[in-house]
Structure 1
Amino acid sequence: MATQVDYYEILEVTQTASADEIKKAYRRMAMKYHPDRNPGDAAAEEKFKDVNHAYDILKDENKRAAYDRYGHAAFEGGGAGPGGFDFGGGAGGAGLGDIFEQMFGDMMGGGRRGSPRAGNDVQAHVVITLEEAFTGVKKDLPVITRVSCESCEGTGSQNGAAGVDVCPSCHGAGKVRAAQGFFVVERPCPTCHGAGKTVKNPCGACHGQGTVEKERIVSVQIPAGIEDGTRIRMTGEGESGPQGTPPGDLYIQVSVKEHSIFQRDGANIFCRVPLRMGQAALGTEVEVPVIDGNRAKVKIPAGTQTGNNFRLRGKGFSVLRSGARGDMYVQVSVETPQHLNKRQRELLEEFEKEAGENIKSSPEHTGFFARVKDFFEGKAN
């Protein structure tokens, strides 16, 4: 089953992002992947289409609310959500009462009139390495959930489908309505508990529920470039519904382990490289690992300071749903020598004496203490 990534993930925003934050994210992403800025790049063109489609959904309050409620299923089947939700209105579209019922129906005991009660959604968690997030990976997850009972084939009756009748109280609707003043309130049918069916002879294995608890293995394809904390939805992989009703969904929370060498920031990778004082002063060449398993050589010029960054284009992290990659940044940290022997101390003392007579060797040091001197002289005057 193909996995679908959240529209929020495409725009690189959280589900709680404001409309203004979503608009800013869209402008940033659209500019980055616009075909005019990426001529001949099919991956960027596809990403540009995804960004526009995601923004088209999330910029509209109604569409966004439906997406938050139903996920991608809200727009399957010609743009209609579950139960035929039509955002366009007009002739043949959903009226105000229908919209209210579709958006909040479950709070009152179900979805649209006559729709079967679905099974519960299931939450799962998977932890992957940074390398697996870079390449993408397929994971088999053990999930404890409710599945259709094999003994009664999910009907809940020992006699199978022949032992199931339409509920006489709700006539199969699964809910009943009662007038309260000017309002009509819906609630789950107390006879069939929302199933719309009654069972004559309950199955001994599932006690008439039509489902039993069982551990099963679910395979999920985690795409390359996924971020820590992303939630993947697998439609229909949740708990089986009671008495043969549709299953719920499976939501998989993805956590990415911290890495001992790399730090990730979106599509970019950072690698902190400690250098000895002499290496930074004289210049050197270092070999660093790349997240894809290769190696890269970086020339460090003489006089490099702590905090200097060296950029390796295209050596960074995978971009979600794209063949592109970000950049890698080698961050230099100059290490002060420790535990000196006698000869090393003598050499450093000699070096410090020479350096003190050459103001050009440490311009920041010299400039700072010159400003300190002026500061105190100004106070004295």
Structure 2
Amino acid sequence: MGVDYYEILKVGRNASEDDLKKAYKRLAMRWHPDKNPDSKAEAEAKFKQISEAFEVLTDAQKRTIYDQYGEEGLKEFPSSENGGRASRGGRSFNTRNAEDLFSEVFGKMNLNPGMRSASFNSRPKSGRAFAHDGLFGTEPLHGSPKSEGTSQGSRKAPPIENKLPCTLEEFYNGSIRKMKISRNVITMGKMATVEEVLTINIKPGWKKGTKVTFPEKGNEQAGLVPADLIFVIDEKPHEVFKREGNDLITTQKLTLAEALTGCILSIPLLNLKTLSVPCTEIVYPGYEKVIPNEGMPIAKEPGKKGNLRIKFDVKFPTQLSTEQRVSIKKVLNGGGSP
């Protein structure tokens, strides 16, 4: 996992935002470079690490990526503040950023007379859209909405969430969805309604619960920072498959004769191809046939897929003639063919 942000802040993995803020305040005050003039280099390194950990773990989307893929997962996301280059936490993080974060949490304050208050400036917002769900390779991550307020005292409106139902085919192959929105904006002191088309790039392997965030795309209101607009990915029922994690499950119907003597299954896949599966084994109650690497794509492991799991629904005959009963009984009792 690389750097352990939870260990840096001395909190558990289920720490709440309040827990994280308390830990950050305690450690940031202890390790601020201006409070450690005799060991400034060490303090700056610690202070930067503490700030970076707090910045990632209080961002719901970045925290989700970090929890599943670690520090390397965060590095996959290019930063608009870094010329498009990938960097830790989705952006370049330096001591100045750490001081900006310190300013946001504590407000402007001097820890000693020599401290430069000019270093406390709010960080700019990127205004870009991001996604998370543990399946990176979508869009860069952005900070989650916060309601404590900006350094100017403005509060942020609560986020607006909407479900976006997607098919298993979209989760398998990927797709691009265009979402048309209307919102109120304040222009030259007047309220106006504008329309905008948002693009959501659904990546192969995404799952139900993935959140795609468009920062500050809600209605503008006087005295409030616009709300983030969040699309929560949902999964539509499928007529052939059910998804469990990265596996696909299908139930195939067989006659009793096919279950006992074998058959060839023809299974339509989500990429419009058909998979031929020889079934030569005896299919007994509860039997499940597993085909490796024919399930859903695994986003964190390009080129790999989960399993295709085939369950069976064996149809027994509702009636048999006397001759059929005698013949079957002879075969099953080892009497050979009649």
TM-score, structure 2 length as denominator? 0.56
The answer to whether the aligner puts 1:325 opposite 2:305 as a matched pair is yes
Deviation at 1:76, TM superposition (A): 5.2
Structure 2: which 5+ runs fail to align?
Answer: 1-11, 16-48, 64-73, 80-87, 109-121, 123-143
Partners of 2:94 and 2:335 lie apart in 1 by: 73
Question: Are the counterparts in 2 of residues 233 and 251 from structure 1 also a CA contact under 8 Å?
Answer: yes
Map of 2:199 onto structure 1: 219
Map of 1:78 onto structure 2: 92
Partners of 2:285 and 2:263 lie apart in 1 by: 14
Map of 2:277 onto structure 1: 298
Cα distance per residue 1:82-132 (max 9 Å; x no partner): xx763xx8xx87277349xx999834xx222x2655566332221111111
The answer to whether the aligner puts 1:19 opposite 2:19 as a matched pair is no
Partners of 1:145 and 1:75 lie apart in 2 by: 30
Question: Are the counterparts in 2 of residues 119 and 247 from structure 1 also a CA contact under 8 Å?
Answer: yes
Q: 1:69 to 1:358 in 2, by over 3 A?
A: closer
Partners of 2:162 and 2:145 lie apart in 1 by: 25
Deviation at 1:308, TM superposition (A): 2.2
Secondary structure of the structure 2 residue equivalent to 1:218: strand
Map of 1:354 onto structure 2: 330
The answer to whether the aligner puts 1:256 opposite 2:235 as a matched pair is yes
Partners of 2:333 and 2:178 lie apart in 1 by: 67
Deviation at 1:80, TM superposition (A): 7.3
The answer to whether the aligner puts 1:111 opposite 2:150 as a matched pair is yes
Partners of 2:254 and 2:331 lie apart in 1 by: 20
* 2:188 maps to which of 146, 155, 175: 155
Map of 1:337 onto structure 2: 317
Deviation at 1:255, TM superposition (A): 0.9
Question: Are the counterparts in 1 of residues 147 and 158 from structure 2 also a CA contact under 8 Å?
Answer: no
Partners of 2:183 and 2:323 lie apart in 1 by: 70
The answer to whether the aligner puts 1:126 opposite 2:170 as a matched pair is no
Partners of 2:155 and 2:181 lie apart in 1 by: 22
The structure showing larger relative contact order (alpha-carbon pairs under 8 Å, at least 6 residues apart) is 1
Partners of 1:120 and 1:247 lie apart in 2 by: 8
Question: Are the counterparts in 1 of residues 296 and 305 from structure 2 also a CA contact under 8 Å?
Answer: yes
Deviation at 1:227, TM superposition (A): 0.7
How do 1:262-273 residues align onto structure 2 when only pairs under 5 Å count? 262-273=241-252
Deviates more, 1:276-285 or 1:325-334: 325-334
Question: Are the counterparts in 2 of residues 133 and 226 from structure 1 also a CA contact under 8 Å?
Answer: yes
Cα distance per residue 1:210-253 (max 9 Å; x no partner): xx34554322212221111222112343334648x864422101
Aligned residues: 233
Question: Are the counterparts in 2 of residues 267 and 326 from structure 1 also a CA contact under 8 Å?
Answer: yes
Partners of 1:358 and 1:258 lie apart in 2 by: 46
Question: Are the counterparts in 1 of residues 147 and 157 from structure 2 also a CA contact under 8 Å?
Answer: no
Secondary structure of the structure 2 residue equivalent to 1:106: coil
How do 1:10-49 residues align onto structure 2 when only pairs under 5 Å count? 19=13
Structure index of larger Rg: 1
Question: Are the counterparts in 2 of residues 241 and 248 from structure 1 also a CA contact under 8 Å?
Answer: no
Partners of 1:296 and 1:230 lie apart in 2 by: 29
Partners of 1:79 and 1:68 lie apart in 2 by: 18
Question: Are the counterparts in 2 of residues 125 and 252 from structure 1 also a CA contact under 8 Å?
Answer: yes
Structure 1: which 5+ runs fail to align?
Answer: 1-17, 22-55, 157-202, 207-211, 361-381
Q: 1:237 to 1:307 in 2, by over 3 A?
A: same
Question: Are the counterparts in 2 of residues 291 and 316 from structure 1 also a CA contact under 8 Å?
Answer: no
Q: 1:331 to 1:247 in 2, by over 3 A?
A: same
Q: 1:68 to 1:301 in 2, by over 3 A?
A: same
Secondary structure of the structure 1 residue equivalent to 2:102: coil
* 1:138 maps to which of 162, 169, 176: 176
